[in-house]
Amino acid sequence: MATIDLDAVAKSFGPVHVLEPVDLKIRSGEFVVLVGPSGCGKSTLLRMIAGLEEASSGDIRIAGERVNDVPPKDRNIAMVFQSYALYPHMTVAQNMSYSLKLRKTAKERIAEAVKGAAETLGLSKLTERRPRALSGGQRQRVAMGRAIVRRPRAFLFDEPLSNLDARLREQMRAEIKKLHARLGATSIYVTHDQIEAMTLADRIVALDAGKIQQIGTPLDLYGRPANRFVAGFIGSPA
């Protein structure tokens, strides 16, 4: 697993400044939760780290290496979205193995990786199903399985549970926590949900108006919010 370092990373779309220079150092194995209102630049920040969007300025380093000019496929970072983006015509096993096939990974290694991920995610009995025959929670697990099999250096989660109902969200939250304990994966997790942030985060990054308002442990933000925005986010019930 890898460190992720952002050094004055900023983003503009044309004349519009979406993100002021962001400095952030994420430790190997750390679980960082990114919170902030809609439109504040959370997805843009993840997309820059993944290489799907170019930084306007600043340096992005993964495991110490500057990756600004490294294409997404060579960054070895996995993204998990809220829309599952599964291939409808493929089975669960095929969905999970697709990226490995593209990389011409050996068949045995693919089978082993898919089996391991399916076991980890409680999907072992569903590997021959197609997405339409799965529940929302199961689909989200397949999306995570697709990320896991690649053994990425880090995971970026963009509001992965926001399409699920409250009960399922709670269950998946617990599973993500277990998964993190097991894989020790460096993770950045975007959410609107205070409880997700408080229960999953080693540290929370609170973003508003294109700027980091506070970085700290859940207890730091809860006990010593830097400003009204942070207090409002942590203080109000879900």
Q: Which residues bind ligand ADP (CB under 6 A)?
A: 13, 18, 36, 38-44
CB 19 within 8 A of CB 9: yes
Three-state secondary structure call for residue 60: strand
In whole angstroms, give the CA distance from residue 175 to residue 106. Answer: 29
Q: Least distance to ligand ADP from the beta carbon of 236, Å?
A: 18
Least distance from ligand ADP to the Cβ atom of residue 15, Å: 11
Question: Per-residue string for binding with Mg ion, 40-59, x by CB under 5 A?
Answer: ---x----------------
Q: Is 187 in the site for Mg ion (CB under 5 A)?
A: no
Q: Output the smallest distance, CB 174 to ligand ADP, in A.
A: 25
Query: What's the alpha-carbon Rg for the chain, to the nearest Å?
Result: 18
Contacts of 9 (CB under 8 A, 6+ apart): 19, 21, 22, 23, 45, 48, 55, 57, 58, 59, 60
Residue span binding Mg ion (CB under 5 A) among the ranges 36-44, 145-153, 161-169, 174-182: 36-44
* Contact status, residue 123 vs residue 142, Cβ threshold 8 Å: yes
By a kind-dependent CB cut-off of 5 to 8 A, residue 38 interacts, out of Mg ion, ligand ADP, none, with ligand ADP
* Partner from Mg ion, ligand ADP, none contacting 149, C-beta within 5 to 8 A by type: none
